[in-house]
C-alpha cells in the first residue's frame, strides 16, 4: 500500500522535493554558509545603523527646531503679510506670530532696558516654554499676563502681583520665565526678556514710526508643505527663512551630524559589500568542480539555475530573518551608552530601516553574488579533469553592477560629500595597490633570509592577486580609520562651540568712568573674565570708495539666500580698537596694526565682501565718516562665546568717538546672587546671562558626541569584519601551496616562517599605506566636505600599522594548525 502511494506521487514533485533537500544540505554542509553569514551581517549592520541614524537625526532636528520654536520661521523687519499667513493656513500649516522690540520697563523703584516679546496663546509651536507664577506653572502666555526673566525681579525690585509699565501699559507681573525655547548665540542682541500677550501689544503704544521692531512668523507642518510655502513666497530684502539647519552655529552642527551619519552608513555598506563579494568568490571557487561534474552527468543549465536559485532563496530568507533580528538587538545595544541623554519617549524609527536594510542587501547581492555565480554556472564539464580550467563567460554579467550604481545615483544625488568620498576611494584603490607592488619590487632586489625570500617570491609571482589583496586589506584599514578620524575631528571642532572655560555672562554698556571699578569687582570675586573692550556701533559703507551694498543688491536677487544678504552690510556692527591682537584670534595674513590708521578684518567677512590687504574701508558712526586701511586678516572662532569682532582698529582711528565697554566672565552655578548684585550696583550696565543657553548647548553636544562615538564604533567593527574575512580566505587558499612546499622537502618551521614573513610584510605595507590614504581622504573630506581646518594625526602612523600586525597575528595563530595539518598526514 505504501509502495502504491509513493508510485502515485508525481515524479516531478519528487524531483522538486529532492532538489529542495539537496539545496538545504548544500546551504549548510557546503561552502554557501559564509555567504549567508556575510549577507546576515550586511542586513544587521545596515538595519542597526539606519535605525540609529533615523533616531539621531530626528532627535537633532527636534532639538534644532525647539531652538527656533517651530519647524520653520520667517524673520522680517516689517509685519509679515497676511497673504503669506493665509497661504500657509490653506496648505494646512499651523501658524503663530511674535513681535519683539527693545524698550524700557519701569517699576515704582527702578527701570531697566528689556526685550519685549508679544506672542499668541499658542506660542511656541516647538520646544517648551515654562512660566512659573507662585506654586503654579504653565506653558503659554494668556491675555493680560506679564512674565519677567528671573533677573528682572531684582533689577526692577518687584515681585509677583506688582505693576510694571511697558510703554503706556500698566501690567501686573504674573510670574517668572523659567525657560523659553528660542536661543541666540549673539550676546549683543540679548536683553532680559519680557513676555506679553499679542492682545496687549497695542495698549503699550511702544511701537512708533522709526522703532526697531522684529517680526517673526512661525510655521509647523509636513516638510513637503513647508518647502512648498518657501517656494511660493517671494521674500522682500528684509526677510529671511530660518530653519534648524540655518540657525547659526547650531544649524551647522546639525548639518554636519547628518553628513557624518550618511557618510558612515555608506562606508559601512561598502565594507559589508566587499565582505560579501569575497565570501561569494570563495564559494564559487569551491563549487566549480561540483557544477562541472553535474554538467558531465547531463545536467542542463536551466536545472543548475533552479538548483542555485533555491539555495539563494533559502539563503536570503534565513539572512533576512537572522539579520533583522540581530539588527534589532544591535540597535538596542548601540543605544545603551546613550540612554542618559536620549529623550523619552524615543522617536519612532518608522519602516525606513526595515526597507533600506533589505533593499541594500538585494542591491548588493545582485552584482556581488550574481557575477561570480554566473561564472560558476558557465564552468565547463572538462573542469572535472582539468582543475583550474576557466569558464568562457559573457561579459554581460558585469552589467549587473549598473543596478546598484543606479540606485546609488538616485540616493546620493547631488551630495558632494558622497561623491568626494567615492571618487577618492576609487582613485586611492589603484594608487595604493600600485604603491604596494612597487614597495615589494624594491624589497625583492635586496638580500634576505630563506623565509623572506620565499615570501617575496610568492608575493611577486602573482602581481595582480597581490595587488588586489593589498588594495583590499589597505582600503579596509583605511576606511575604518576614516570613520574614526572624522568622528574625532568633528568632535574636537564642536567642543570649541562651548569650551569648559567659556564665559556665560556678558556685561555691556559699561561707562568709561565705571569700567575699572567693574573689573575690580570681578577680580575680587575670583571670576574668570576676558579683557575689556571699548565698543562703538557703526556701519561699513564703502570698500575702496565703492558702496558694497549697491554692488551686492543686484546679485542677491539671483541667490536663494537673497533675502538675507551679508549681515555685515545689513546692520550696525560692533567696532573696537586694541594695541594687541586678542589671544583667541589667529592672524592669517598681514601684520598686526603695522601703521596708524589701520584695521584688522575677520577672514569670513573679508572673503564674502572681497576685502584684501591694503584696501581702504569707509565707515560711519553716528553719521560721522572715517576710513581705515586693511593691515591684517584674522581668523575668528565665533562659537567660543568670547568677545569677537569683524573689525578691530588701531586706537588712533576712533580715539575721539564716544564708547562704552564690554567684558565677559564666567559665573559658577552657585554665584547667581553675584549676578543680581552686579545688576543692582550698576543699573546702567546691561547683563546678558547666557547660562541657560550654555546648558542647552552642552546637552546637545553630549548627545552628538556619544552618538557619533557609537556610530564610529559600528563602522570600525564592520571594517574589522572585512579585514578578518579577507585574511581568512587568503590563508585558506595557501593549503594547496603548502602541500607543494612539503612535497619539495620544506620543513614545518620553514613553511611557518614563510607564512609569517609573507603576511607580516603585507600587514606592515597595508598599515603604512592605509595611514597615508586615510590622512589624504580625511583631509579632503574635512577641507571640502565639512569645511573645517585640516589637522594631521601623528598617533595614527603608529596605531594603524600596529593594528594591522595584531590582526595578522590573530588570524594566522588561529589558522596555523589547520594550514599545517596536511603535513602530518
Kind plus residue range of the DSSP H or E element containing 531: none
Bridge partners (DSSP) listed for residue 664:
506
pLDDT band at 633 (very low <50, low <70, confident <90, very high): very high
Indicate whether 12 pLDDT > 60.
no
Q: How far is CA 204 from CA 105, 110, 707, in A?
A: 11, 18, 48
Judged by DSSP in three states, 112 sits in strand
Indicate whether 776 pLDDT > 50.
yes
Task: Give the Cα separation of 708 and 714 in Å (integer).
Answer: 10
Task: Give the Cα separation of 634 and 654 in Å (integer).
Answer: 20
| Cell matching residue 39 | 549577507
Task: Give the Cα separation of 157 and 675 in Å (integer).
Answer: 14
Residue 86's pLDDT is what? 92
Percent of the chain clearing pLDDT 90 (strictly above): 6
| Cell matching residue 94 | 499651523
Residue 261's pLDDT is what? 65
Number of CB atoms found within 10 A of residue 484's CB: 22
Q: In this structure, are strands 598-602 and 624-636 parallel, antiparallel, or unpaired?
A: parallel
pLDDT band at 557 (very low <50, low <70, confident <90, very high): very low
Burial of 167: CB neighbours in 10 Å, binned 0-12, 13-18, 19+: buried
Instruction: List, in order, residues 6 or more apart from 210 with CB less than 8 Å away.
Output: none
Comparing C-alpha atoms, which of 177, 169, 180, 184 is closest to residue 153?
Answer: 177
Comparing C-alpha atoms, which of 161, 181, 171 is closest to residue 106?
Answer: 171
Residue 563's pLDDT is what? 36
pLDDT in tens, 187-209: 444 567 889 998 888 888 877 76
Q: Which of 10-14, 116-120, 558-562, 811-815 has the lowest mean pLDDT?
A: 558-562
* Most confident residue range from 402-406, 571-575, 616-620: 616-620
Q: Which of 65-69, 184-188, 813-817 has the lowest mean pLDDT?
A: 184-188
Task: Give the Cα separation of 777 and 770 in Å (integer).
Answer: 10
CA dihedral 152, 158, 160, 166 (to 10 degrees): -70
Residue 332's pLDDT is what? 80
pLDDT band at 697 (very low <50, low <70, confident <90, very high): low
- Is the separation of the CB atoms in 91 and 229 below 8 Å? yes
Higher-confidence residue of 21 and 249: namely: 21
pLDDT band at 559 (very low <50, low <70, confident <90, very high): very low
Q: According to the 3-state scheme, what is the secondary structure of 123-172?
A: CCCCCCCEEEECCEEECCCCCCCEEEEHHHHHHCCCCCCCEEEECCEEEE
Average pLDDT of the chain?
Answer: 75
Instruction: List, in order, residues 6 or more apart from 168 with CB less than 8 Å away.
Output: 203, 204, 205, 206
pLDDT band at 89 (very low <50, low <70, confident <90, very high): very high
Give the pLDDT mean for 24-34. Answer: 62
Bridge partners (DSSP) listed for residue 542:
618
| Cell matching residue 320 | 533576512
Task: Give the Cα separation of 674 and 161 in Å (integer).
Answer: 25
Number of CB atoms found within 10 A of residue 684's CB: 11
Judged by DSSP in three states, 12 sits in helix
Q: According to the 3-state scheme, what is the secondary structure of 250-311?
A: HHHHHHHHHHHHHHHHHHHHHHHHHHHHHHHHHHHHHHHHHHHHHHHCCCCHHHHHHHHHHH
Task: Give the Cα separation of 75 and 239 in Å (integer).
Answer: 6
- Is the separation of the CB atoms in 125 and 65 below 8 Å? no
pLDDT in tens, 245-303: 665 555 565 566 666 666 777 777 777 777 777 777 777 776 777 777 777 777 777 77
Classify the C-alpha dihedral 263-266-270-271 as positive or negative: positive
pTM of the model: 0.59
pLDDT band at 649 (very low <50, low <70, confident <90, very high): very high
- Is the separation of the CB atoms in 98 and 123 below 8 Å? yes
Residue 88 CA, distance from chain mean position: 31
Higher-confidence residue of 802 and 379: namely: 802
Q: Which of 2-6, 502-506, 719-723 has the lowest mean pLDDT?
A: 2-6
- Is the separation of the CB atoms in 722 and 274 below 8 Å? yes
Residue 529 CA, distance from chain mean position: 33
Judged by DSSP in three states, 100 sits in strand
Bridge partners (DSSP) listed for residue 577:
649
Strands in 637-735 per DSSP E: 647-649, 660-666, 686-689
Radius of gyration of the chain (CA): 35
* Residue 456, φ and ψ in degrees, nearest 5: -65, -35
Q: How far is CA 475 from CA 494, 652, 770, in A?
A: 28, 58, 7
Total length of the chain:
825
Residue 420's pLDDT is what? 64
Higher-confidence residue of 676 and 389: namely: 676
Indicate whether 153 pLDDT > 80.
yes
pLDDT band at 3 (very low <50, low <70, confident <90, very high): very low
Task: Give the Cα separation of 579 and 211 in Å (integer).
Answer: 36
CA dihedral 245, 246, 249, 253 (to 10 degrees): 10
pLDDT band at 784 (very low <50, low <70, confident <90, very high): confident
Comparing C-alpha atoms, which of 146, 149, 141 is closest to residue 691?
Answer: 149
Task: Give the Cα separation of 554 and 552 in Å (integer).
Answer: 5
Residue 269's pLDDT is what? 73
Amino acid at each position: 500500500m505504501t509502495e502504491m502511494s509513493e508510485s502515485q506521487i508525481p515524479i516531478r514533485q519528487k524531483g522538486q522535493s529532492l532538489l529542495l533537500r539537496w539545496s538545504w544540505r548544500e546551504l549548510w554542509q557546503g561552502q554557501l554558509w559564509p555567504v549567508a553569514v556575510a549577507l546576515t551581517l550586511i542586513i544587521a549592520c545596515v538595519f542597526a545603523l539606519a535605525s540609529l541614524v533615523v533616531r539621531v537625526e530626528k532627535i537633532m532636528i527636534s532639538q534644532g527646531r525647539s531652538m527656533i520654536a517651530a519647524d520653520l520661521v520667517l524673520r522680517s523687519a516689517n509685519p509679515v503679510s497676511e497673504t503669506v499667513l493665509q497661504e500657509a493656513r490653506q496648505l494646512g500649516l499651523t501658524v503663530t506670530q511674535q513681535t519683539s522690540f527693545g524698550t524700557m520697563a519701569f517699576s515704582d523703584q527702578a527701570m531697566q532696558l528689556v526685550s519685549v516679546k508679544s506672542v499668541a496663546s499658542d506660542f511656541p509651536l516647538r520646544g517648551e516654554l515654562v512660566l512659573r507664577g507662585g506654586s503654579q506653572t504653565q506653558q503659554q502666555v494668556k491675555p493680560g499676563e506679564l512674565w519677567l526673566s528671573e533677573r528682572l525681579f531684582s533689577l526692577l525690585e518687584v515681585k509677583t502681583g506688582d505693576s510694571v509699565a511697558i510703554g503706556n501699559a500698566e501690567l501686573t507681573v504674573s510670574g517668572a520665565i523659567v525657560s523659553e525655547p528660542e536661543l541666540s548665540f549673539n550676546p549683543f542682541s540679548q536683553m532680559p526678556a519680557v513676555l506679553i500677550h499679542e492682545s496687549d501689544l497695542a495698549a503699550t503704544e511702544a511701537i512708533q514710526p522709526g522703532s526697531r521692531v522684529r517680526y517673526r512668523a512661525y510655521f509647523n507642518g509636513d516638510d513637503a508643505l513647508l518647502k512648498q510655502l518657501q517656494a511660493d513666497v517671494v521674500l522682500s530684502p528684509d526677510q529671511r527663512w530660518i530653519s534648524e539647519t540655518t540657525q547659526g552655529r547650531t544649524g551647522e552642527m546639525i548639518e554636519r551630524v547628518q553628513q557624518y551619519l550618511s557618510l558612515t552608513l555608506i562606508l559601512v555598506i561598502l565594507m559589508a559589500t566587499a565582505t560579501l563579494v569575497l565570501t561569494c568568490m570563495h564559494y564559487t571557487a569551491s563549487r566549480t568542480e561540483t557544477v562541472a561534474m553535474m554538467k558531465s552527468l547531463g545536467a542542463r543549465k536551466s536545472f543548475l539555475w533552479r538548483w542555485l536559485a533555491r539555495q539563494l532563496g533559502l539563503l536570503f530568507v534565513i539572512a533576512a530573518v537572522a539579520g533583522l533580528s540581530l539588527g534589532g538587538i544591535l540597535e538596542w545595544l548601540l543605544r545603551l551608552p546613550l540612554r542618559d541623554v536620549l529623550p523619552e519617549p524615543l522617536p519612532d524609527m518608522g519602516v525606513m530601516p526595515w526597507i533600506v536594510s533589505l533593499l541594500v542587501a538585494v542591491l548588493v547581492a545582485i552584482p556581488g553574488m550574481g557575477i561570480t555565480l554566473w561564472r560558476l554556472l558557465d564552468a565547463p564539464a572538462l573542469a572535472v579533469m582539468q582543475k583550474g580550467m576557466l569558464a568562457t563567460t559573457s561579459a554581460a554579467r558585469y552589467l549587473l553592477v549598473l543596478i546598484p550604481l543606479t540606485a546609488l545615483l538616485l540616493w546620493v544625488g547631488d551630495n558632494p560629500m558622497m561623491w568626494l568620498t567615492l571618487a577618492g576611494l576609487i582613485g586611492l584603490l589603484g594608487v595604493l595597490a600600485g604603491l604596494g607592488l612597487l614597495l615589494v619590487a624594491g624589497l625583492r632586489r635586496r638580500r634576505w633570509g630563506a623565509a623572506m625570500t620565499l615570501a617575496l617570491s610568492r608575493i611577486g609571482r602573482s602581481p595582480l592577486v597581490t595587488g588586489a589583496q593589498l588594495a583590499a586589506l589597505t582600503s579596509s584599514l583605511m576606511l575604518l580609520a576614516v570613520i574614526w578620524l572624522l568622528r574625532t575631528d568633528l568632535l574636537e571642532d564642536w567642543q570649541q562651540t562651548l569650551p569648559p572655560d567659556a564665559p556665560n555672562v556678558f556685561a555691556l554698556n559699561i561707562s568709561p568712568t565705571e569700567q575699572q571699578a567693574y573689573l575690580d569687582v570681578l577680580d575680587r570675586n575670583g571670576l574668570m573674565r576676558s579683557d575689556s573692550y571699548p565698543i562703538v556701533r557703526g556701519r561699513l559703507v564703502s570698500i575702496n570708495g565703492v558702496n558694497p551694498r549697491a554692488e551686492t543688491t543686484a546679485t542677491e536677487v539671483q541667490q536663494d539666500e537673497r533675502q538675507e544678504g551679508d549681515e555685515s552690510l545689513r546692520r550696525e556692527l560692533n567696532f573696537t580698537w586694541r594695541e594687541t591682537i586678542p589671544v583667541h584670534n589667529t592672524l592669517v595674513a598681514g601684520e598686526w596694526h603695522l601703521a596708524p590708521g589701520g584695521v584688522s578684518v575677520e577672514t569670513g567677512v573679508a572673503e564674502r565682501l572681497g576685502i584684501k590687504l591694503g584696501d581702504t574701508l569707509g565707515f560711519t558712526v553716528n553719521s560721522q565718516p572715517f576710513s581705515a586701511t586693511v593691515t591684517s586678516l584674522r581668523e575668528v572662532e565665533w562659537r567660543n562665546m568670547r568677545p569677537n569682532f569683524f573689525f578691530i582698529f588701531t586706537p588712533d582711528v576712533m580715539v575721539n568717538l564716544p564708547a562704552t565697554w564690554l567684558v565677559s566672565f564666567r559665573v559658577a552655578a552657585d554665584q547667581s546672587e553675584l549676578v543680581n548684585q552686579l545688576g543692582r550696583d550698576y543699573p546702567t550696565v546691561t547683563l546678558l546671562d547666557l547660562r541657560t543657553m550654555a546648558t542647552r548647548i552642552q546637552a546637545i553636544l553630549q548627545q552628538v558626541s556619544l552618538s557619533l562615538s557609537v556610530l564610529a564604533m559600528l563602522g570600525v567593527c564592520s571594517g574589522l569584519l572585512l579585514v578578518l574575512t579577507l585574511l581568512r580566505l587568503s590563508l585558506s587558499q595557501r593549503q594547496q601551496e603548502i602541500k607543494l612546499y612539503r612535497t619539495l622537502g620544506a620543513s614545518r618551521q620553514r613553511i611557518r616562517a614563510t607564512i609569517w614573513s609573507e603576511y607580516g610584510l603585507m600587514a606592515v605595507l597595508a598599515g603604512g599605506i592605509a595611514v597615508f590614504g586615510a590622512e589624504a581622504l580625511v583631509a579632503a573630506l574635512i577641507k571640502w566636505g565639512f569645511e573645517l581646518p585640516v589637522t594631521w594625526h601623528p598617533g595614527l602612523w603608529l596605531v594603524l600599522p600596529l593594528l594591522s600586525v595584531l590582526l595578522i597575528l590573530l588570524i594566522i595563530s588561529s589558522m596555523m594548525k589547520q594550514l599545517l595539518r596536511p603535513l602530518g598526514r
